[in-house]
Amino acid sequence: MKEFNVTGVCVPRKYYMVDISKKLDQIIRLIEKEEYFTMNRARQYGKTTTLSNIYDRLKDRYLVIDISFEGIGDNAFANESAFVEVFTKLVTRRLRQNSVEQSIIKEWEEGKEDLDGFDELSWKITHLSQDCNRDIILLIDEVDKSSDNQLFLHFLGILRNKYLDREEGLDSTFKSVILAGVYDVKNLKIKIRPDSERKFNFSWNIAADFDVDMSFNPEEISSMLIEYEKDHDTGMDIEKISSEIYKYTKGYPFLVSKACKIIDEKLSKDWSFNGVNNAVKILLEEKNTLFDDLFKNLEHYKDLYNVVYNILVVGKRIQFNVDNPSIDIGVTFGILSKEGAFTTISNKIFELRIYNYLISKRSTQEGELLTYKYRTNFIENGNLNMEIVLNKFQEVMHDEFREKDVRFIEREGRLLFLCFLKPIINSVGFYYVEAETRMDNRMDVVITYNNKQYIVELKIWRGESYEQKAIEQLWGYLESKREDKGYLILFNFNENKQYKKEWKRYKSKDIYMTIV
């Protein structure tokens, strides 16, 4: 029986797979145009599986040599001779596996002991291209393993020169070369020596732009669930479940497969909205290499951390500009993306995981907000009593943060609410922040607890007109979610403010308002 795969290459006979044929068609068009390009996407974005699919699609028409720099070790880049030896062996192995004629393999291997530089390797590539009766496609996976190395750039320079000579009819070489990794090789910065400054590498400026969207859209997610449903007959609404998974993942391949795997193996095949929510909840508590990389990159790139913090906590709208190094590296790592003219977090799961990370960091630094003093029974008949939650949060803000700097509360207030909320709903409930409303000092938090939904809007109070506007905005959001009841927290920084808490009726909606 097939399963969902989240490790390594996906094999159709073993795993449920998304139909990526349209993406492959786009990539193969580049190959048939004899383009060289870098398939650069974030970690666990399906690059290796895509390369495997390219191999399967083209192996009968071309000689496809697919190799990987994964695990070849630093010694391979010690000098030209070492690199040429390793590269030659990798190619030889693939030639044998592709059942290439022995005479061609023999000539490729001939004199390999005497190969001591790129000039000799260049001649080898020329002869291999001339001797084969098929065009050759070279695929190199995990090029990041060597990208901070001048020797690797020299190798790219050789491929580039041969490409240019081929265009003028002066040489024979690979029809197409595809490099796969996180970074776009033509824009790499590398260190020539450990103590040198980073410099731009332009040796791969022959590369075509790679504009293929490798995320999974809802229709593509459906293609995988259709295959699954044929085997299991769960009765799921495939279109709706695909859209719900996409809502949280934005089609990030690993996250899509992981959510499906959790539903299938840990949630008794609960292919419902509640099942998707529970899968996301489990995923948010899981430790894996993708999340490890996420936080490692945030901590390493401080300017990127500040961009993310300003978007999520402060609520700033940051213009999207790839010339901004912090935004560019965030896009490269799959953390940031473009939404309209602005920068956003690429998917809700990353967003929630980062919120949880910020909550944890803040709790470590300053302690828990929900101390024993403020604990009470927030649950009635198995349901969350949001009125009590807001009342207690008001009490915390009054007792613990009344003397805090206004700018701190304005900046941190919404994060403080999430710090207060998380232990209350932990292990049972689930929340997410509606990104579209995180502007104009406004943020909507959607909380799910015991299959019930609670919508809380948080907004800075700047006068009676702002209060009325907040009520109208919350009403509109409640209307879009088909909810009759909502909750409003207003952060008021006036010294003589009243700590109000009251129910208001507005256009058939009941709104509980708390001023903190």
**Three-state secondary structure of 422-471:** HHHHCCCCEEEEEEEEEECCEEEEEEEECCEEEEEEEEECCCHHHHHHHH
Model pTM above 0.85: yes
With respect to residue 126, please indicate whether it lies within any of the assigned structural domains.
yes
**509 token code pair:** 């909606």
With respect to residue 5, please indicate whether it lies within any of the assigned structural domains.
no
Residues 327, 224, single domain; the answer is no
pLDDT of 200 > 60? The answer is no
pLDDT of 193 > 50? The answer is no
pLDDT of 195 > 50? The answer is no
Residues 387, 275, single domain; the answer is no
| Helical ranges in 98-208 per DSSP H | 102-109, 118-131, 150-167
For residue 341, which phi and psi values (nearest 5 degrees)? -95, 0
Residues 359, 386, single domain; the answer is no
Residues 472, 461, single domain; the answer is yes
Residues 177, 51, single domain; the answer is yes
Token pair 């929900």: residue: 370
Per the CB < 8 A criterion, the answer to whether 378 and 384 are in contact is yes
**91 token code pair:** 């190619």
What single letter denotes the amino acid at residue 184?
A: D
What is the pLDDT, as a whole number, of residue 68? 94
Residues 70, 193, single domain; the answer is yes
What is the pLDDT, as a whole number, of residue 199? 47
Q: Is 75 left (phi over 0), alpha (psi -120 to 50) or beta?
A: alpha
Residues 46, 88, single domain; the answer is yes
With respect to residue 107, please indicate whether it lies within any of the assigned structural domains.
yes
Mutual angle of helices 47-58 and 21-32, in 10-degree steps: 60
Share of the chain above pLDDT 90, in %: 68
The enclosing domain of 66 has a CATH number of 3.40.50.300
368-398, pLDDT tens digit by residue? 888 888 889 999 999 999 999 999 999 999 9
Could you say which DSSP state residue 217 is in?
P
Residues 69, 187, single domain; the answer is yes
438-487, pLDDT tens digit by residue? 655 678 899 999 889 999 999 888 888 888 989 999 999 999 989 999 99
What is the pLDDT, as a whole number, of residue 188? 57
Classify 348 as helix, strand or coil. Answer: helix
88-142, pLDDT tens digit by residue? 999 999 999 988 999 999 889 886 666 678 988 999 999 999 999 899 999 999 9
With respect to residue 325, please indicate whether it lies within any of the assigned structural domains.
yes
| Domain extent at residue 140 | 21-200
27-61, pLDDT tens digit by residue? 999 999 999 999 999 999 999 999 999 999 999 99
Residues 41, 177, single domain; the answer is yes
Residues 250, 333, single domain; the answer is no
CA 16 to centroid of chain Cα atoms:
21
With respect to residue 493, please indicate whether it lies within any of the assigned structural domains.
yes
**Cβ-based neighbour number of residue 125 at 10 Å:** 22
For residue 139, which phi and psi values (nearest 5 degrees)? -115, 125
pLDDT of 197 > 60? The answer is no
Between residues 297 and 111, the one the model is more confident about: 297
- Number of domains into which the chain is organized: 4
Q: Of 343, 367, 391, which one is at a domain's C-terminal end?
A: 367
Residues 137, 174, single domain; the answer is yes
Could you say which DSSP state residue 43 is in?
T
Per the CB < 8 A criterion, the answer to whether 132 and 172 are in contact is no
Q: Of 310, 337, 367, which one is at a domain's C-terminal end?
A: 367
With respect to residue 163, please indicate whether it lies within any of the assigned structural domains.
yes
With respect to residue 451, please indicate whether it lies within any of the assigned structural domains.
yes
Q: What is the mean pLDDT of residues 361-372?
A: 85
Residues 301, 268, single domain; the answer is no
Number of H helices, E strands in the chain: 17, 16
Q: What is the mean pLDDT of residues 276-285?
A: 94
What single letter denotes the amino acid at residue 374?
A: Y
**442-449 β-sheet, strand order:** 430-439, 442-449, 452-460, 485-491, 509-515, 501-506
With respect to residue 386, please indicate whether it lies within any of the assigned structural domains.
yes
pLDDT of 161 > 50? The answer is yes
Q: Is the dihedral of CA 278, 288, 348, 242 positive or negative?
A: negative
Q: Of 367, 383, 409, which one is at a domain's C-terminal end?
A: 367
